[in-house]
Amino acid sequence: MLRDITLGQYYPIDSPVHRLDPRIKILLTMAFIVCVFLVGSPLGYLPIAAYLAWATWMARLPAKMMLRSMRPLRILLIFTFVLNLFFGTGDTELLRLGFIRVTQEGLYNAIHFSLRLIFLVIGSSLLTLTTPPVTLTDGLESLVSPLKVIKFPAHEMAMMMTIALRFIPTLAEEADKIMKAQSARGADFTSGSLKQRAQALIPLLVPLFVSAFRRAGDLAMAMESRCYRGGEGRTRLHVLKTGRKDWLAVASIAVLYAVVLLMARYV
Amino acid sequence: MTQPHLSLQNVTYTYEENGPEAVSDFSLDVGRGEFVALLGHNGSGKSTVAKLLNGLYTPTGGNVLVAGMDTQDSQYTWEIRKRCGMVFQNPDNQIVATVVREDVAFGLENLGVPSEDMPAIIDRALSAVNMADFADRAPHMLSGGQKQRIAIAGILAMQPEIIVLDEATAMLDPSGREEVLETALRLNREQGITVVWITHFMEEAARSSRVAVMYKGKLVMDGTPREVFSQVDLVREYRLDVPPMTRLAHMLRERGLDVRPDALTIPEMRQEVKRLAHHA
């Protein structure tokens, strides 16, 4: 059960989008999110949808993958839609069922906000689907490194994230082992009330934490033995490079902005 | 005589102030290109000695010199760690990155090696431990023996003169143990790297060129495997066993048969038995 934890949702293939500089990809995603908020009407989402479809095609991602990224948000999505639909303001009544009334404005808002949510989620999963978590971390480190001037620990933060990612499978495997060992001695993790199940996790979490601390001590010693002394004077195996394709991607988002702003104004 | 590569001079180490001595008055010189097995039962202080060898611990008393540099002198700390690499017991707890290639690069990145020089060095290090085909794999998918060889490659990339393996085989299965020992022996033979092999497996110690035995933080025996293991009673007194063939030789001698007391390997024993049969 704990075995099939995938690291993030990275989809390992090769495509022009996968090869983009992670820094550019992070910035583009942020720009895209802002762009989604600039859209003024449901019709205005057309260029957004077209852009996402194009990006998905460029990234050679199956459409199914993109839709699957929506799944964790389906409840929030339904709530957004229903609340806006039934409890919207406005006077143009479309339907009345007892105290519930559906107005034209409510319907409009329901569609508007639901679409906004959908495009936000799909847009940001495009980033995580095409960028391995460690590369993402490298990109973030590089983006926040100017903050080192104000003593922001950019390198340390990235190193911690990398190590956390590295140890997820190791600790998952260990949790699995401890669970089996406890089950063999009669522990029950799967039945009982929520409180009982939470309590059953204590004999799993305590040894897991103890071992995680021991591992951390070992790892620190191994890192020191290999001359690790913080980010100062450190070089990297993979140097982030911004090339022509990155500027093309930036240009594409500029076009999207132009279209969205024009539509917000004239349509 | 040339300067010893590693030199421990009357070294004492206590974990807490006024606590018991984990290592006490320990002296040992290791020459360039030697393969020394350091033996001792659990808690004999052998892992502490390992950590004294690259400045992870600095001695409470006495001096540790690595290629003539004192580990107490903090200006040498990083030079010592670059020259004296260390492989630890738990293969999972010494791999930093999520891709083999990147893990081997870790030491190089710390040393500030230019990025464009790294790929060639990494490929060479991985080839030296026969793991070149695994460069793009995730370390957690590899076997224990493979992980330890990656750890060795990570050290080799830093071009060390000495490798200390602190019970590097203790958590491995027999085939993994053989892989790692074979790798260490080969690096010692072909590249002249000085190896300190810390273990409690007698078969492994029997394949080194020199065996040092620790007991209660002290060096109690030092010699070739033959010299050390032929003293079966003494070795046992230090709560260690002797290799199976030496034990067999000892048992046969106790029953009045005239076999050589220092037989270490199965072929040697076979020869001895043949010789006896011939005489009988």
Number of domains into which chain A is organized: 2
Per the CB < 8 A criterion, the answer to whether B77 and B67 are in contact is: no
B56 to chain A, any CB pair closer than 8 A? The answer is yes
Chain B hits for A165, CB-CB cut-off 8 Å, are 98
A218 to chain B, any CB pair closer than 8 A? The answer is yes
Are B82 and A163 within 8 A, CB to CB? no
The closest alpha carbon to A135, from A39, A32, A19, A235, belongs to: A19
Chain A hits for B99, CB-CB cut-off 8 Å, are 134
* Average pLDDT over every residue of A168-175: 89
Per mean pLDDT, which range of A83-87, B50-54, B98-102, B215-219 is the poorest? A83-87
Instruction: Give the start-to-end residue ranges of the domains of chain B.
Output: 6-242, 243-280
For residues A108 and A32, membership in a common domain is answered with yes
**Which of the four pLDDT bands, split at 50, 70 and 90, describes residue A85?**
confident
Task: Give domain status of residue A234, yes or no.
Answer: no
Q: Strands, E, within B31-175: which ranges?
A: 35-39, 61-66, 69-70, 84-87, 162-166
* Average pLDDT over every residue of B144-167: 95
Among the partner-chain residues A165, A225, A237, the one whose CB lies closest to the CB of B109 is: A237
Task: Give domain status of residue A51, yes or no.
Answer: yes
A134 to chain B, any CB pair closer than 8 A? The answer is yes
Residue B61 clears pLDDT 60, i.e. is over it: yes
For residues A178 and A245, membership in a common domain is answered with no
Task: Give domain status of residue A8, yes or no.
Answer: no
Task: Give domain status of residue A233, yes or no.
Answer: no
Residue B111 has a pLDDT of 95
Are A227 and B111 within 8 A, CB to CB? yes
Which residue of chain A has the CA closest to B108? Answer: A235
Helix (H) / strand (E) containing A100 = strand A100-103
Residue A1 has a pLDDT of 35
Q: What CA–CA distances, in Å, run from B38 to A10, A87, B35, B148?
A: 46, 78, 10, 19
Interface test with A, best of B81, B88, B92, B164 (most A CBs within 10 A): B92
In the predicted model, what is the mean pLDDT of chain A?
A: 87
**Which of the four pLDDT bands, split at 50, 70 and 90, describes residue B146?**
very high
Residue B152 clears pLDDT 50, i.e. is over it: yes
Residue A3 has a pLDDT of 38
Residue A4 has a pLDDT of 40
- If one looks up domain B6-242 in CATH, what number appears? 3.40.50.300
* Average pLDDT over every residue of B148-173: 95
Ramachandran area for residue A208 (φ above 0: left; ψ -120 to 50: alpha; else beta): alpha
Tell me which of B155 and B277 has the higher pLDDT: B155
A236 to chain B, any CB pair closer than 8 A? The answer is yes
For residues A72 and A170, membership in a common domain is answered with no
For residues A99 and A170, membership in a common domain is answered with no
Burial, A51: exposed, middle or buried (Cβ in 10 Å; 0-12, 13-18, 19+)? buried
Residue A219 domain boundaries: 154-225
Chain A hits for B102, CB-CB cut-off 8 Å, are 134, 237-238
Residue A5 clears pLDDT 70, i.e. is over it: no
Helix (H) / strand (E) containing B23 = strand B21-30
For residues A209 and A249, membership in a common domain is answered with no
Among the partner-chain residues B81, B88, B92, the one whose CB lies closest to the CB of A170 is: B92
Among the partner-chain residues B81, B111, B122, the one whose CB lies closest to the CB of A225 is: B81
Residue A2 has a pLDDT of 39
Residue B98 clears pLDDT 90, i.e. is over it: no
Residue A99 clears pLDDT 70, i.e. is over it: yes
What distance in Å separates residue A223's CA from the closest CA in chain B?
Answer: 7
Q: What are phi and psi of B211, to 5 degrees?
A: -120, 130
Among the partner-chain residues B110, B122, B154, the one whose CB lies closest to the CB of A229 is: B110
Which residue of chain A has the CA closest to B79? Answer: A227
Per the CB < 8 A criterion, the answer to whether B202 and B245 are in contact is: no
Chain B hits for A236, CB-CB cut-off 8 Å, are 109, 115
B256 to chain A, any CB pair closer than 8 A? The answer is no
Quick: pLDDT tens for A38-58.
998 888 899 999 999 999 999
Residue B279 has a pLDDT of 79
Residue A98 clears pLDDT 80, i.e. is over it: no
**Which of the four pLDDT bands, split at 50, 70 and 90, describes residue A106?**
confident
Chain A hits for B82, CB-CB cut-off 8 Å, are 227
What was the ipTM of the complex prediction? 0.89
Quick: pLDDT tens for A172-219.
889 999 989 888 988 787 778 888 888 888 888 999 999 999 999 999
Task: Give domain status of residue A175, yes or no.
Answer: yes
For residues A63 and A108, membership in a common domain is answered with yes
Among the partner-chain residues A162, A227, A238, the one whose CB lies closest to the CB of B110 is: A227
Which residue of chain B has the CA closest to A134? Answer: B98
The closest alpha carbon to B160, from B53, B62, B75, B63, belongs to: B53
Quick: pLDDT tens for B222-245.
999 999 998 988 999 999 988 888
For residues A42 and A87, membership in a common domain is answered with yes
For residues A26 and A68, membership in a common domain is answered with yes
Residue A219 has a pLDDT of 96
Per mean pLDDT, which range of A71-85, A94-108, A211-225, B83-97 is the poorest? A94-108
Chain A hits for B139, CB-CB cut-off 8 Å, are 166
Tell me which of B252 and B280 has the higher pLDDT: B252
What distance in Å separates residue A137's CA from the closest CA in chain B?
Answer: 12
Task: Give domain status of residue A194, yes or no.
Answer: yes
What distance in Å separates residue A176's CA from the closest CA in chain B?
Answer: 15
Among the partner-chain residues B56, B108, B109, the one whose CB lies closest to the CB of A224 is: B56
Q: What are phi and psi of B205, to 5 degrees?
A: -60, -35
Per the CB < 8 A criterion, the answer to whether A162 and A191 are in contact is: no
Residue A210 has a pLDDT of 95
Residue B69 has a pLDDT of 94
* pTM score, whole prediction: 0.83
Structure tokens at A198: 């939470």
Quick: pLDDT tens for A229-263.
988 889 999 888 899 999 999 999 999 999 999 98
Chain B hits for A226, CB-CB cut-off 8 Å, are 81, 85, 106-107, 110, 154-155, 158
Are A237 and B158 within 8 A, CB to CB? no
What distance in Å separates residue B10's CA from the closest CA in chain A?
Answer: 24
Residues in chain A: 267
**Which of the four pLDDT bands, split at 50, 70 and 90, describes residue A165?**
confident
Residue A238 has a pLDDT of 87
For the four alpha carbons of B179, B180, B185 and B186, in that order, the dihedral sign comes to: positive
**Which of the four pLDDT bands, split at 50, 70 and 90, describes residue A8?**
low
Are B110 and A228 within 8 A, CB to CB? yes
Task: Give domain status of residue A147, yes or no.
Answer: no
Q: Taking CB atoms and an 8 Å cut-off, how many pairs form between chains A and B?
A: 95
Q: What percent of chain B has pLDDT over 90?
A: 73
B94 to chain A, any CB pair closer than 8 A? The answer is yes
